[in-house]
Structure 1
Amino acid sequence: MQSMNSQRDKLSRPQKLESSIPAVRATPAQLLAGAALVAAIMAAVCLFGVWTRLAGQLAVFWPANALLLGLFIRFPRLDTAAGWVGACVGHLLAGYIVGDPLPISVLLTLTNFASVVTGYLLLAQPFASDARKLLGAAGVLQLLAIAALASVAGGLAGGVVGPVAFGGTALESCLAWFASELLNYFTILPAVLSIPTAQHREVARQWRKSMPPLRRATPLLALLASMAAAVLVGGPGAVAFPVPALLWCGMRYGVFPAAVLSLLTTAWTLVAISKGVLNTAVEIESPAMLMSVRLGVALIAISPLAVASAMAANRILMAQLRHMAEHDPMTGTMNRRAFAEQAGKALRAARAARRSVGLLVLDIDRFKNVNDTYGHAVGDQVIVLVANLVADHLPEGPLLLGRLGGEEFAVLLPDADHARTRDVAERVRQACADAAVDLGQDRTTGCTVSIGASVSPQAEASLDRLLQAADRALYEAKHGGRNRVVLTDAV
């Protein structure tokens, strides 16, 4: 049997995300360019992290490790041996610029890579597909668990290197490194992994189109106002001021915008505290207090991501339920109610533009004989085949095809006059006459359709009148010998 046509697949089947990280091939020039890009990004973010470093301590905010892991997972073309070398070069270059001794830079780079490699090995596994795509609450929880394990690996490595690089005890270094990594992974990794694909960008475009600009901007304005209030009021509770606005952003904007806003808010909070802009009355020069602030901010950052992911999962579920309610489960075409609704909208638009419309009603010829001769399973194959052929041979544009019941289908053709309506009907009729259903054992059976067509020159006729006229034409086609098209006016 012929395969599903591309138009109907888009209508009836959800897009499937890749289940594993794809293998990629690149030319030497592309590998070199990717390595240079990774090196430049790592050098820049490492310098930013060093800028937030307190005297004798780790950086307050260190985005390099989480960003590197996210880039390698989200953009597989960067995940090459050259890319990993470029990351090492970027780390060492930043250390050279700030004047770190080379042995210390090497130790710090190896320690950073301990958590990155651990997270990479976990996220690259097939079981982590939902975590890589942040699919639903389970995917988010899985990602956070992997981030926590990567942070543990970083903390253990930091417990060895920390006393050498910054002094202090191994336990203090281990806990500080763990808290820092946990914060960075919780805030940065979701933002990088949820960078939109072309499909997601189209969804965002439709969302922007459906919502007034002021309404779209309100949650963001509330977030900016909460950050300003945190600066003005200060105190230990100021770090939590943005939480309600972040939750609002998570409900309104989706996973990627919520993750980015959470990342920016977290980075701003930590940098503002370290630079004295945000007075929380907490002495973050104390390693214990700094670790407490990091963990608190990390947990705050999870909230909007969890809300956004739950809202995204809910939207997907609602879309699936809506699709099930509006489409025929066998053929994937619209059911009678949905067809009447969508065709009615198209008809009203054509009437407002005073454009002609055509309507086809198709019926499979001698379908009862097919069921009686070959069984209902073959009958179902014939119905699906006809639905596919009709959709394949319709003009480009919205697919206004519905199954009215049994072996009968209807098609609305916007902006179609008599000639165009007849041409489409004849193409569909001929395609069905030329097709065959494979019965196995080198046996096939054919099928034909009779088509009744009606036209309303300025879309003045109602949908019911178009259907009635097409039904009468279909009756004439059946009694005129079947496998033919009869066209009439809907008056």
Structure 2
Amino acid sequence: MQTMNSQRDKLTRPQKLEPSVPALPASPAQLFAGGVLVAAIMATVCLFGVWTRLAGQLAVFWPANALLLGLFIRFPRLDTAAGWVGACAGHLLAGFIVGDPLPISVLLTLTNFASVITGYLLLAQPFGADARKLLGAAGVLQLLGIAGLASVAGGLAGSFVGPMAFGGTALESGLAWFASELLNYFTILPAVLSIPTAQHREVVRQWRKSMPPLRRAAPLLALLASVAAALLVGGPGAVAFPVPALLWCGMRYGVFPTAVLSLLTTAWTLVAMSKGVLDTAVQIESPAMLMSVRLGVTLIAISPLAVASAMAANRILMAQLRHLAEHDPMTGTMNRRAFAEQAGKALRSARTARQGVGLLVLDIDRFKSVNDTYGHAVGDQVIVLAANLVADQLPDGPLLLGRLGGEEFAVLLPGADHAHTRAVAERVRQACAETAVDLGQGRTLGFTVSIGASVSQPADAGLDRLLQAADRALYEAKHGGRNRVVLTDVD
């Protein structure tokens, strides 16, 4: 008999995975490839940044530092010595291509790294978790604070290097560097840090499935229309035209899409102004005016991201509340109401497809004596272990398992015939009979279950009739000696 400790926080479907193997360290070839990749990315974005330079000034939009920091935080496999060397090489290569003198190129690279390293040291700490996840107002404010400190570091370094590279005073260079870094960090970092994982992609798939295409596209169309209006109307207020549409995107699309749209809108606004495509009647060749524009655009970018983060946190909270309302807190299975709702949906689908359906109702044998002899704490362990064992034996697909009350559970098997229903029931019965609760100090407690099963083929019967038939079969199993399966057809 297998012994198990049944203390589990939540029931989940078992994952059929290969035995876990410790992650192997990256090979020299992989490290080199990662470094080359980082170098190529940095050289490309640095050249883009140089393209946006105004005469004698910093680049209007410099994505390299924020992108590098985001990549190292979001993709730790790139955060290696080879990755950092590659980043440095990418900066120097871009300087060489555009003809910057080597000493100036080295100084500019060191200044950029002063900002990146400061942000990296802050974001990588445990207290930076909210900023890395960008959930809720706390995450946005924390990211803004970290971006501000990294920008201060860049500004301090820039106050020394700026006069040598671009002329001007130390104060002007420091302020310009600070404003540039703050803008770049707060528009680029959120987009990189929120790149979706597989779990996020599943959420997006469900969202797309639940929302009509026109409704999904409306915020994006509004954003495109606002950009077109900015081009047509022009003037100083044109930079704010996209704000309502971006806020709408934040409410509809989530953090990552909103961050990307905000980044693209911000980058387009700054580059279009610097190239004369967007006529705002603002002379950004003036260092003071350019800093004002950068800070203003940064503040514009904060609003949609804050809305998207708040909406994401709200959706998580609502999902948690929904889970609590629909699941048994002890076993993690669906409660009776949620089981009836989900089973009803599955029955209607099976009926439409003209498939059969099976229902199991199982009860732990002599459970009252377990409580009386060992106490309710041990009884709870038996219930939790039984729930997990049942889940382990069910076929792949939606987990239609619910706790009807006390020590009684129900399982719906869409598409099942008599043979399949009996086979699943026997696997569940045998698994319970062969497993015991570990009571500690070398003591164990075994238990068995009796199962009543009903089949409707095709699935013409409703859930109530299936439950009634399975209850009658369970009564026969109990009175036939327990630890057995009795199967019946629905009348």
- Amino acid across the alignment from 1:321: L
Q: Match of 1:306?
A: 306
CA positional deviation for 1:127? 1.6
Amino acid at match of 1:58: L
Q: Is the 8 A contact 2:6 2:384 kept in 1?
A: no
Q: Considering Cα pairs closer than 8 Å and 6+ residues apart, tell me whether 1 or 2 has the greater RCO.
A: 2
Contact 2:13 2:391 in 1 (8 A): no
Question: 1:135 offset after TM fit, Å?
Answer: 2.6
Paired residue for 2:12, among 9, 12, 18? 9
Cα deviation 1:189-225 (Å, max 9, x = unaligned):
0101111111111211222222222221111111011
Counterpart of 2:354?
Answer: 354
Which residue of structure 2 aligns with residue 92 of structure 1?
92
**What is the rounded CA distance, in whole Å, between the counterparts of 1:6 and 1:349 in structure 2?**
32
From the superposition, tell whether residues 434 and 399 of structure 1 become closer, same or farther in structure 2 (CA, over 3 Å). Answer: same
Alignment of 1:30-69 (within 5 A): 30-69=30-69
What is the one-letter code of the residue matched to 1:433? A
Q: Measure how far apart 1:350 and its partner are.
A: 0.8
Q: CA deviation at 1:292?
A: 0.3
Q: Deviations over 1:300-352 (max 9, x none)?
A: 01111111111110110010000000000000000000000000000111111
- The 1:357–1:124 alpha-carbon spacing in structure 2 relative to 1, beyond 3 Å, is same
1:187-206 mapped onto 2 (5 Å cutoff): 187-206=187-206
Tell me the CA shift for residue 6 of structure 1: 13
For residue 331 of structure 1, give the secondary structure of its aligned residue in structure 2.
coil
TM-score (structure 2 length as normaliser)? 0.96
Which residue number corresponds to residue 376 of structure 1? Answer: 376
Which deviates more from structure 2 when the two are superposed, residues 79-88 or residues 261-270? Answer: 79-88
Aligned residue in 2 for 1:449? 449
Give the conservation status (yes or no) of the 8 Å contact 1:5–1:391: no
Query: Using the alignment, how far apart are the partners of 1:278 and 1:154 within structure 2?
Result: 29
Q: Using the alignment, how far apart are the partners of 2:419 and 2:331 within structure 1?
A: 28
Question: 1:51-450 counterparts in 2 under 5 A?
Answer: 51-450=51-450
Instruction: Normalising by structure 1, report the TM-score.
Output: 0.96
Partner Cα separation in structure 2 for residue 34 and residue 84 of structure 1 = 10
Supply the distance in 1 between the matched residues of 2:75 and 2:109 (Cα, whole angstroms): 22
Q: CA deviation at 1:3?
A: 5.7
State whether residues 24 and 76 of structure 1, in contact with CA within 8 Å, keep that contact through their aligned partners in structure 2.
no
Q: AA paired with 1:154?
A: G
In 2, are the aligned partners of 1:7 and 1:391 still within 8 Å (CA)?
no
* Amino acid across the alignment from 2:100: D
SS state of the match for residue 355, structure 2? coil
Q: 2:6–2:382: 8 Å Cα contact kept in structure 1?
A: no
One-letter identity of the residue aligned with 1:96: F
| Superposed displacement of residue 460, structure 1 | 0.9
The CA distance in 2 between the partners of 1:30 and 1:3, in whole Å, is 42
- Contact kept, 8 Å, 1:23 with 1:76, in 2: the verdict is no
Q: Which amino acid counterpart does residue 62 of structure 1 have in structure 2?
A: W
Q: Quick one: which amino acid aligns to residue 279 of structure 1? A: D
- Tell which deviates more after alignment, 218-227 or 136-145: 136-145
Is the 8 Å Cα contact of residues 452 and 470 (structure 2) preserved in structure 1? yes
For residue 12 of structure 2, what is the amino acid of its counterpart?
D
Change (3 A) 1:24 1:442: closer
**1:2-48 Cα distance to aligned partner (Å, 9 max, x none):** 5689994269xxxxxxxxxx998311111111111111111111111
Structure-1 separation of matches of 2:426 and 2:8: 19
Identity of aligned residues (%): 88
Aligned counterparts of 1:455 and 1:4: Cα–Cα separation in 2: 33
Kindly indicate whether the alpha-carbon contact (under 8 Å) linking 2:359 and 2:454 is maintained by their aligned counterparts in 1.
yes
Mapped pair 1:485 → 2:485: yes
The amino acid across from 1:169 in the alignment is T
SS at match of 1:192: helix
Contact 1:190 1:259 in 2 (8 A): yes
RMSD of aligned residue pairs (Cα, Å) = 1.6
Please give the alpha-carbon distance, in whole angstroms, between the structure 1 residues aligned to 2:83 and 2:64.
14
Paired residue type of 2:319? A
The residue number in structure 1 matching 2:17 is: none
C-alpha distance in 2 between matches for 1:23 and 1:288: 51
The CA deviation at 1:134 is 1.5
Cα contact 2:452–2:472 (8 A) shared by 1: yes
Provide the rounded CA distance (Å) in 2 between the counterparts of 1:355 and 1:124: 53
Contact 1:400–1:413 (CA<8 Å) still a contact in 2? Answer: yes
Q: SS of 2:109's equivalent?
A: helix
Q: Displacement, 1:409?
A: 0.4
Q: Secondary structure at the match of 1:139?
A: helix
Cα offsets for 1:44-90 (capped at 9, x unmatched) = 11111111100011100000000010011111111111111111111
